[in-house]
Amino acid sequence: DTGVSQDPRHKITKRGQNVTFRCDPISEHNRLYWYRQTLGQGPEFLTYFQNEAQLEKSRLLSDRFSAERPKGSFSTLEIQRTEQGDSAMYLCASSHPARDVGETQYFGPGTRLLVL
């Protein structure tokens, strides 16, 4: 399977703990994205990498959130001092530069986080 993979699929943690999620994009895709989805809403953009460079961060990404993509391949999203409001589905997507207008992002299965 050459799709986007995410690990873990589910995470339950206590408030105040740190958590880290991993995303492995489609191998030939140099762009990687993180989104957050809460119940009844569509995915919301968090951040975006082109190769190893983090090029854009949403205002949703507070100081407790950090994302890395050290070698331009897999990426990690860390949440420090988790809060109950962080409970959500965290989605990763990847894309390849399009030759014409528009790019299609391909999503992984997501990591569902529950903060108790």
Partner 1 sequence: DQQVKQNSPSLSVQEGRISILNCDYTNSMFDYFLWYKKYPAEGPTFLISISSIKDKNEDGRFTVFLNKSAKHLSLHIVPSQPGDSAVYFCAASEIYNFNKFYFGSGTKLNVKP
Binding site for partner 1 (CB under 8 A): 4, 6, 31, 33, 35, 40-45, 48, 50, 55-56, 91, 93, 95, 100-110, 112
Least CB distance to partner 1 at residue 86 (A): 19
Phi, psi (deg, nearest 5) at residue 85: -70, -10
**Distance, CA of 33 to CA of 45 (rounded, Å):** 8
Least CB distance to partner 1 at residue 111 (A): 10
Nearer to partner 1, 21 or 35 (CB): 35
Least CB distance to partner 1 at residue 81 (A): 27
Nearer to partner 1, 31 or 76 (CB): 31
**DSSP string covering 68-106, please?**
E-TTSS-EEEEESS--GGG-EEEEEEEE---SSS----E
Nearer to partner 1, 78 or 103 (CB): 103
What distances in angstroms separate CA 4 from CA 30, 100, 114, one per listed residue? 12, 23, 22
Q: β-strand 5-7 against 31-37: which pairing, if any?
A: unpaired
Least CB distance to partner 1 at residue 16 (A): 27
